[in-house]
Amino acid sequence: MTEGKRVLLVGGGVGIAPMLLLAKSLYKKGNEITVLIGGRSVADIIEPDLYEPYGIVGITTDDGSAGIKGLVTQHPAFEKISDYSMVYSCGPDPMMKAVTGIAKSHDIACEVSLENLMACGIGACLCCVAETTTGNRTTCVDGPVFDVKDLIGW
């Protein structure tokens, strides 16, 4: 886990909640944290005040009912993406792929937490397979967090 760095956490939809524990852990390791929370509307923004003890919190909503109107990747923090040494993201695949693309274009390390369907939870059913550079991996056993350098198609 990153220590003493500027870190960007990007959560959208159900991917917002898992970012809280990560923010807390990264903060305890001396990182400077920015948390971006995106949703369709204010109803999708889950308790942003819980993140405030750990760093700067930015909010975007598609309809502008909370924070900045637009996609989370349109938040002004992305204009300064080169200031970050690590990006973590959890949420809908299209959002995470957009975040990944921005991070990769600035040569910034990025990890994503995949939200694949996980029926069995032990890797037997293979419904949560993610294609990686080292072969297929099950999200339930080998993940759910993957470095985007290892994911094919990201």
Average pLDDT over residues 40-68: 96
Which two tokens mark 107?
């040569």
Parse the chain into domains and list their residue ranges: 6-113, 115-143
Class of domain 6-113: alpha beta
Q: For residue 1, name the pLDDT band (cuts at 50, 70, 90).
A: low
The reported pLDDT for the residue numbered 118 is: 83
pTM for this prediction? 0.92
Average pLDDT, the chain: 94
Dihedral angle over CA of 124, 91, 98, 148, nearest 10: -40
